Amino acid sequence: MIEISTDINKAKKILENNELVAIPTETVYGLAGNIYSETAIKKIFETKKRPFYNPLIVHIHNKKLIDEIAINIPEKARILADAFWPGSLTLLLEKNNKIPDIVTAGRNSVAVRVPNHPLTLELLKALNFPLAAPSANPFGSISPTKAQHVADYFSNDIAMVLEGGNCENGIESTIIGFKNDQPIIYRLGSISIEEIEVLVGPLKVKNHSEKLPESPGMLSRHYAPKTKTILVEDIEKELSLHANKRIGVIVFKTIIDKTNINYTEILSEKGDIKEAMSNLYAAMHRLDKLKLDLIIAQKFPEEGLGKSINDRLERATKE
Protein backbone atom coordinates (compact mmCIF):
# COMPACT_ATOMS: atom_id res chain seq x y z
CA MET A 1 0.00 0.00 0.00
CA ILE A 2 1.14 3.48 -0.79
CA GLU A 3 2.14 5.76 2.08
CA ILE A 4 1.47 9.52 1.99
CA SER A 5 4.06 11.13 4.24
CA THR A 6 6.36 14.13 4.71
CA ASP A 7 9.29 11.91 5.79
CA ILE A 8 12.20 13.00 3.59
CA ASN A 9 14.58 10.43 5.07
CA LYS A 10 12.24 7.65 4.15
CA ALA A 11 11.90 9.02 0.60
CA LYS A 12 15.68 9.18 0.36
CA LYS A 13 16.10 5.55 1.42
CA ILE A 14 13.50 4.34 -1.06
CA LEU A 15 15.16 6.25 -3.91
CA GLU A 16 18.62 4.97 -2.93
CA ASN A 17 17.15 1.50 -3.19
CA ASN A 18 16.30 2.04 -6.89
CA GLU A 19 12.60 2.37 -6.09
CA LEU A 20 10.24 5.24 -6.96
CA VAL A 21 8.77 8.07 -4.87
CA ALA A 22 6.18 10.58 -6.06
CA ILE A 23 7.47 14.07 -5.27
CA PRO A 24 5.70 17.42 -4.99
CA THR A 25 6.74 20.27 -7.23
CA GLU A 26 5.23 23.70 -7.76
CA THR A 27 3.77 22.50 -11.10
CA VAL A 28 2.46 18.95 -10.65
CA TYR A 29 3.55 15.85 -8.69
CA GLY A 30 6.35 13.87 -10.36
CA LEU A 31 7.10 10.15 -10.36
CA ALA A 32 10.76 10.20 -9.40
CA GLY A 33 13.71 7.84 -9.68
CA ASN A 34 17.53 7.98 -9.71
CA ILE A 35 18.65 9.03 -13.22
CA TYR A 36 21.67 6.71 -12.96
CA SER A 37 19.66 3.61 -12.03
CA GLU A 38 18.41 1.72 -15.07
CA THR A 39 16.17 -0.29 -12.74
CA ALA A 40 14.50 2.84 -11.40
CA ILE A 41 14.10 4.49 -14.81
CA LYS A 42 12.54 1.35 -16.28
CA LYS A 43 10.10 1.32 -13.37
CA ILE A 44 9.06 4.88 -14.19
CA PHE A 45 8.17 3.93 -17.76
CA GLU A 46 6.43 0.71 -16.68
CA THR A 47 4.44 2.32 -13.87
CA LYS A 48 3.19 5.12 -16.11
CA LYS A 49 2.73 2.81 -19.10
CA ARG A 50 4.69 5.43 -20.96
CA PRO A 51 6.34 4.49 -24.25
CA PHE A 52 10.14 4.34 -24.07
CA TYR A 53 10.48 6.86 -26.92
CA ASN A 54 9.17 9.63 -24.64
CA PRO A 55 12.09 11.11 -22.63
CA LEU A 56 12.10 12.31 -19.01
CA ILE A 57 12.94 15.62 -17.31
CA VAL A 58 16.00 15.64 -15.03
CA HIS A 59 15.47 17.51 -11.74
CA ILE A 60 18.41 19.15 -9.93
CA HIS A 61 18.49 21.32 -6.80
CA ASN A 62 20.90 24.01 -7.92
CA LYS A 63 21.42 25.68 -11.29
CA LYS A 64 25.18 25.27 -10.87
CA LEU A 65 24.70 21.54 -11.44
CA ILE A 66 23.55 22.23 -15.01
CA ASP A 67 27.05 21.63 -16.40
CA GLU A 68 26.94 18.04 -15.14
CA ILE A 69 23.78 17.48 -17.14
CA ALA A 70 24.34 19.46 -20.34
CA ILE A 71 27.09 20.84 -22.61
CA ASN A 72 27.36 23.77 -25.07
CA ILE A 73 24.77 25.71 -23.10
CA PRO A 74 23.54 28.78 -25.04
CA GLU A 75 23.88 32.16 -23.35
CA LYS A 76 20.11 32.64 -23.49
CA ALA A 77 19.60 29.37 -21.64
CA ARG A 78 21.77 30.66 -18.80
CA ILE A 79 19.83 33.92 -18.71
CA LEU A 80 16.59 31.98 -18.41
CA ALA A 81 17.96 29.62 -15.75
CA ASP A 82 19.15 32.63 -13.73
CA ALA A 83 15.76 34.29 -14.03
CA PHE A 84 13.43 31.37 -13.42
CA TRP A 85 15.18 28.65 -11.37
CA PRO A 86 14.06 27.34 -9.01
CA GLY A 87 10.85 27.41 -11.02
CA SER A 88 8.60 26.15 -13.77
CA LEU A 89 10.91 26.37 -16.74
CA THR A 90 12.43 23.28 -18.37
CA LEU A 91 15.42 23.74 -20.67
CA LEU A 92 16.14 21.36 -23.55
CA LEU A 93 19.92 21.28 -23.94
CA GLU A 94 22.64 19.20 -25.57
CA LYS A 95 23.19 16.26 -23.27
CA ASN A 96 26.29 15.50 -21.27
CA ASN A 97 27.57 11.96 -22.00
CA LYS A 98 27.05 11.03 -18.35
CA ILE A 99 23.27 11.09 -18.80
CA PRO A 100 22.01 7.57 -19.56
CA ASP A 101 20.28 7.10 -22.94
CA ILE A 102 17.20 5.60 -21.36
CA VAL A 103 16.47 8.95 -19.65
CA THR A 104 16.60 10.90 -22.93
CA ALA A 105 15.08 8.13 -25.08
CA GLY A 106 18.32 7.98 -27.04
CA ARG A 107 18.19 11.67 -27.95
CA ASN A 108 21.08 14.03 -28.09
CA SER A 109 19.20 16.49 -25.91
CA VAL A 110 18.29 16.43 -22.25
CA ALA A 111 15.45 18.24 -20.45
CA VAL A 112 16.40 19.77 -17.10
CA ARG A 113 14.92 21.99 -14.42
CA VAL A 114 15.23 23.09 -10.79
CA PRO A 115 11.77 22.63 -9.26
CA ASN A 116 10.52 25.15 -6.71
CA HIS A 117 9.18 23.15 -3.80
CA PRO A 118 10.93 23.24 -0.40
CA LEU A 119 10.50 19.52 0.40
CA THR A 120 11.70 18.35 -2.99
CA LEU A 121 14.65 20.74 -2.95
CA GLU A 122 15.63 19.37 0.46
CA LEU A 123 15.29 15.81 -0.81
CA LEU A 124 17.39 16.54 -3.92
CA LYS A 125 20.09 18.12 -1.74
CA ALA A 126 20.21 15.02 0.46
CA LEU A 127 20.65 12.69 -2.52
CA ASN A 128 23.86 12.29 -4.47
CA PHE A 129 22.05 11.88 -7.79
CA PRO A 130 19.45 13.93 -9.74
CA LEU A 131 15.90 12.67 -10.15
CA ALA A 132 14.15 11.90 -13.39
CA ALA A 133 10.49 12.69 -12.96
CA PRO A 134 7.62 12.75 -15.41
CA SER A 135 4.23 13.81 -14.11
CA ALA A 136 2.89 11.12 -11.74
CA ASN A 137 -0.09 10.00 -13.80
CA PRO A 138 -0.70 7.11 -16.17
CA PHE A 139 0.28 8.08 -19.73
CA GLY A 140 -2.32 10.42 -21.25
CA SER A 141 -4.42 11.04 -18.14
CA ILE A 142 -4.86 14.15 -15.97
CA SER A 143 -1.72 15.17 -14.07
CA PRO A 144 -1.82 15.11 -10.25
CA THR A 145 -1.76 18.33 -8.22
CA LYS A 146 -2.44 16.69 -4.82
CA ALA A 147 -0.79 13.72 -3.10
CA GLN A 148 -4.17 11.97 -3.07
CA HIS A 149 -4.41 12.16 -6.89
CA VAL A 150 -1.18 10.16 -7.07
CA ALA A 151 -2.42 7.67 -4.49
CA ASP A 152 -5.64 7.21 -6.50
CA TYR A 153 -3.59 6.31 -9.58
CA PHE A 154 -0.76 4.22 -8.12
CA SER A 155 -1.87 2.81 -4.74
CA ASN A 156 -0.45 -0.63 -5.55
CA ASP A 157 2.48 0.41 -7.68
CA ILE A 158 4.72 2.68 -5.61
CA ALA A 159 5.66 2.79 -1.93
CA MET A 160 5.41 6.48 -1.15
CA VAL A 161 4.14 9.95 -2.04
CA LEU A 162 6.05 12.76 -0.39
CA GLU A 163 3.21 14.95 0.89
CA GLY A 164 3.80 18.52 -0.25
CA GLY A 165 0.28 19.94 -0.32
CA ASN A 166 -1.45 21.36 -3.38
CA CYS A 167 0.82 22.27 -6.29
CA GLU A 168 0.88 26.03 -6.42
CA ASN A 169 1.11 26.60 -10.18
CA GLY A 170 -0.97 23.60 -11.10
CA ILE A 171 0.11 22.91 -14.69
CA GLU A 172 3.39 21.59 -16.03
CA SER A 173 6.55 23.58 -16.66
CA THR A 174 7.11 25.57 -19.84
CA ILE A 175 9.65 23.77 -22.08
CA ILE A 176 12.20 25.83 -24.03
CA GLY A 177 14.76 24.50 -26.49
CA PHE A 178 17.21 26.23 -28.83
CA LYS A 179 17.97 26.15 -32.56
CA ASN A 180 21.05 28.13 -33.51
CA ASP A 181 20.83 29.74 -30.10
CA GLN A 182 17.28 30.96 -30.78
CA PRO A 183 14.77 29.95 -28.10
CA ILE A 184 11.75 27.86 -29.11
CA ILE A 185 8.80 26.93 -26.90
CA TYR A 186 8.01 23.21 -27.14
CA ARG A 187 5.37 23.13 -24.43
CA LEU A 188 3.27 25.98 -23.09
CA GLY A 189 3.24 25.87 -19.32
CA SER A 190 3.05 27.74 -16.09
CA ILE A 191 5.47 30.49 -17.12
CA SER A 192 3.89 32.63 -19.86
CA ILE A 193 5.45 33.34 -23.26
CA GLU A 194 5.37 37.05 -22.44
CA GLU A 195 7.44 36.63 -19.24
CA ILE A 196 10.12 34.81 -21.22
CA GLU A 197 10.13 37.19 -24.19
CA VAL A 198 10.92 40.11 -21.91
CA LEU A 199 14.29 38.46 -21.26
CA VAL A 200 15.30 36.83 -24.54
CA GLY A 201 13.25 38.49 -27.26
CA PRO A 202 10.61 36.98 -29.56
CA LEU A 203 10.00 33.26 -29.27
CA LYS A 204 8.96 30.66 -31.78
CA VAL A 205 6.18 28.41 -30.53
CA LYS A 206 6.25 24.77 -31.65
CA ASN A 207 3.75 23.52 -29.16
CA HIS A 208 1.53 21.83 -31.73
CA SER A 209 1.21 18.14 -32.17
CA GLU A 210 2.91 16.56 -35.10
CA LYS A 211 3.27 12.93 -36.13
CA LEU A 212 6.78 12.89 -34.74
CA PRO A 213 6.89 15.92 -32.49
CA GLU A 214 10.30 17.20 -31.49
CA SER A 215 9.13 17.06 -27.92
CA PRO A 216 7.45 13.67 -28.20
CA GLY A 217 5.22 14.18 -25.20
CA MET A 218 3.25 16.72 -27.18
CA LEU A 219 0.83 14.21 -28.64
CA SER A 220 -2.51 15.82 -29.13
CA ARG A 221 -4.53 13.73 -26.67
CA HIS A 222 -3.13 14.31 -23.21
CA TYR A 223 -4.21 15.52 -19.78
CA ALA A 224 -7.54 13.93 -20.61
CA PRO A 225 -10.50 13.03 -18.41
CA LYS A 226 -12.30 9.77 -19.18
CA THR A 227 -15.53 11.76 -19.52
CA LYS A 228 -16.21 13.31 -22.93
CA THR A 229 -15.04 16.92 -22.71
CA ILE A 230 -15.61 19.87 -25.03
CA LEU A 231 -14.17 23.36 -25.08
CA VAL A 232 -16.37 26.28 -26.13
CA GLU A 233 -16.39 30.08 -26.19
CA ASP A 234 -20.06 30.50 -25.38
CA ILE A 235 -21.03 28.27 -22.49
CA GLU A 236 -24.69 29.38 -22.26
CA LYS A 237 -25.30 28.60 -25.92
CA GLU A 238 -23.63 25.20 -25.64
CA LEU A 239 -25.70 24.29 -22.58
CA SER A 240 -28.91 24.88 -24.48
CA LEU A 241 -27.87 22.14 -26.92
CA HIS A 242 -27.56 19.43 -24.27
CA ALA A 243 -30.88 19.14 -22.45
CA ASN A 244 -31.40 15.95 -20.40
CA LYS A 245 -27.72 15.20 -20.03
CA ARG A 246 -25.72 15.09 -16.80
CA ILE A 247 -23.34 17.94 -17.34
CA GLY A 248 -20.32 19.35 -15.52
CA VAL A 249 -18.98 22.76 -16.37
CA ILE A 250 -15.54 24.32 -15.93
CA VAL A 251 -15.54 28.12 -16.09
CA PHE A 252 -13.03 30.84 -15.35
CA LYS A 253 -15.02 33.29 -13.17
CA THR A 254 -18.74 32.78 -13.16
CA ILE A 255 -21.78 31.93 -15.24
CA ILE A 256 -25.22 33.43 -15.45
CA ASP A 257 -27.71 30.59 -15.67
CA LYS A 258 -27.02 27.33 -13.82
CA THR A 259 -30.41 25.64 -14.20
CA ASN A 260 -29.20 23.12 -16.75
CA ILE A 261 -25.97 22.12 -14.98
CA ASN A 262 -25.37 19.40 -12.43
CA TYR A 263 -21.86 20.41 -11.34
CA THR A 264 -19.98 23.65 -11.73
CA GLU A 265 -16.28 24.24 -11.17
CA ILE A 266 -15.48 27.94 -10.97
CA LEU A 267 -11.69 28.15 -11.21
CA SER A 268 -11.31 31.64 -9.75
CA GLU A 269 -14.25 33.59 -8.34
CA LYS A 270 -12.17 36.75 -8.40
CA GLY A 271 -10.96 36.19 -11.96
CA ASP A 272 -7.30 35.61 -11.12
CA ILE A 273 -5.64 33.63 -13.91
CA LYS A 274 -2.93 32.11 -11.65
CA GLU A 275 -5.54 30.92 -9.19
CA ALA A 276 -7.55 29.44 -12.07
CA MET A 277 -4.48 27.59 -13.38
CA SER A 278 -3.73 26.24 -9.94
CA ASN A 279 -7.27 24.82 -9.63
CA LEU A 280 -7.63 23.43 -13.16
CA TYR A 281 -6.50 19.81 -12.78
CA ALA A 282 -8.15 19.29 -9.39
CA ALA A 283 -11.43 20.45 -10.96
CA MET A 284 -10.95 18.01 -13.84
CA HIS A 285 -10.21 15.17 -11.38
CA ARG A 286 -13.36 15.95 -9.36
CA LEU A 287 -15.66 16.14 -12.39
CA ASP A 288 -14.19 12.99 -13.90
CA LYS A 289 -15.13 11.00 -10.77
CA LEU A 290 -18.81 11.87 -11.16
CA LYS A 291 -19.46 9.74 -14.26
CA LEU A 292 -21.13 12.63 -16.06
CA ASP A 293 -22.31 12.48 -19.68
CA LEU A 294 -20.35 15.55 -20.64
CA ILE A 295 -17.88 18.14 -19.35
CA ILE A 296 -18.10 21.56 -20.99
CA ALA A 297 -15.12 23.83 -20.45
CA GLN A 298 -15.04 27.52 -21.20
CA LYS A 299 -12.22 28.87 -23.32
CA PHE A 300 -9.93 31.31 -21.52
CA PRO A 301 -8.84 34.68 -22.94
CA GLU A 302 -5.97 33.87 -25.39
CA GLU A 303 -3.28 35.86 -23.61
CA GLY A 304 -0.59 35.18 -21.02
CA LEU A 305 -1.29 32.07 -18.96
CA GLY A 306 -4.72 31.83 -20.59
CA LYS A 307 -2.91 30.34 -23.62
CA SER A 308 -1.38 27.60 -21.46
CA ILE A 309 -4.72 26.78 -19.85
CA ASN A 310 -6.42 26.65 -23.28
CA ASP A 311 -3.66 24.32 -24.49
CA ARG A 312 -4.41 21.82 -21.69
CA LEU A 313 -8.17 22.13 -22.20
CA GLU A 314 -7.79 21.56 -25.94
CA ARG A 315 -5.74 18.42 -25.37
CA ALA A 316 -8.33 17.20 -22.87
CA THR A 317 -10.99 17.33 -25.60
CA LYS A 318 -9.18 15.25 -28.21
CA GLU A 319 -10.75 11.84 -28.97
Point out which residues bind ligand TXA (CB under 6 A): 25, 27-28, 30, 54-57, 90, 92, 104, 107, 109-111, 115, 133-135, 172-173, 175, 187, 215-218
The amino acid sitting at 22 is: A
Task: Reduce the DSSP state of residue 13 to 3 states and report it.
Answer: helix
| Distant-in-sequence, close-in-space partners of 223: CB < 8 Å, separation ≥ 6 | 141, 142, 143, 281, 284, 312, 315, 316
Least distance from ligand TXA to the Cβ atom of residue 88, Å: 6
Question: Judged by CB under 5 A, does residue 109 bind Mg ion?
Answer: no
Classified as helix, coil or strand, 27 is coil
Nearest approach, Cβ of residue 40 and ligand TXA (Å): 15
* Comparison of 229 and 268: residue with beta carbon closer to Mg ion: 229
Q: Which residue is nearest to Mg ion (CB)?
A: 135
Nearest distance from residue 143's CB to Mg ion, in Å?
A: 6
Between 110 and 313, name the residue whose CB sits nearer to ligand TXA. 110
Closest residue to bound ligand TXA by CB: 217
CA distance 275 to 289: 22
* Contact status: 190 vs Mg ion (CB under 5 A): no
Among 34, 104, 135, 278, binds Mg ion (CB under 5 A): 135
Alpha helices by DSSP H, the chain: 8-16, 38-48, 66-69, 75-84, 101-104, 118-126, 147-154, 193-200, 235-240, 273-289, 305-317
CA 196 – CA 193 distance, rounded (Å): 5
By CB under 5 A, tell whether 215 contacts Mg ion: no
Residues near Mg ion (CB under 5 A) are 135
